[in-house]
Amino acid sequence: MQKERAEDVQLRIADWITRFAGSMWFVYLHVVVFAVWMIWAEKSPWPTLTLIVSLEAIFLSTFVMIGQNRQAEFTRKKADHDYEAQELELRHNTQLTELVHTLTVEIHKAVNAVAAGEAENGESAEQVPNPTT
């Protein structure tokens, strides 16, 4: 996923803008630019400044949504991968549980057969350990 993101120039630019817009440097830059604009740039700075700030907000919200969509796609792919890994592990655990059960049944039959054979030969069945206890 990271390789895919690194190969697309548009996504790299969107990542850079989103990273910068979410930093304190972005805030500091805007404080300075707005202060300069309001004090020295125009006699009536509000209409033009409002227009610029509104346009900037539109673009920044678009970049935020792009970042959220990309994060959601990454999360979905990771969840799919995790689900497949858990399903594989569940299948392996089920196979192991079935194998343990089969072996336990076979051992139980073998122990009972040995106990029954010794009892027929006149040996005490009490001397043979009971596998169920």
Q: What is residue 123's predicted lDDT score, i.e. its pLDDT?
A: 60
Answer whether residue 1 shows pLDDT above 80: no
CA dihedral 22, 25, 30, 36 (to 10 degrees): 180
Per the structure block, which two tokens stand in for 112? 């009972």
> Cα(106)–Cα(98) distance, rounded to whole angstroms?
12
pLDDT at 5 over 70: no
User: Which pLDDT tens digit goes with each residue over 62-104?
Assistant: 988 988 998 898 899 999 999 999 999 999 999 999 999 999 9
Q: Check residue 31 and give its pLDDT.
A: 92
* CA–CA separation, 1 and 73 (whole Å): 10
What's the 3-state SS for 16-31? HHHHHHCCHHHHHHHH
**Above 90 in pLDDT, residue 8?**
no
Convert the pLDDT of each residue in 13-43 to its tens digit: 888 888 899 899 999 999 999 888 888 887 8
The conformation of residue 127, written as its DSSP 8-state character, comes to: G
Query: Looking at residue 92, what is its pLDDT?
Result: 97
Query: What pLDDT was estimated at residue 111?
Result: 94
H helices within the chain, ranges in order?
Answer: 2-7, 9-21, 24-36, 46-120
Calculate the CA dihedral of residues 8, 11, 16, 19 and round it to 10 degrees: -140
Q: Given this model, what pLDDT does residue 101 score?
A: 97
Query: Number of C-alpha atoms within 13 angstroms, CB side, residue 38?
Result: 9
Q: Stretch 113-128: mean pLDDT, rounded?
A: 70
Q: Quote the pLDDT of residue 44.
A: 81
Q: Is the pLDDT of residue 128 over 80?
A: no
Residues 6+ apart with CB under 8 A from 21: 60, 63, 64
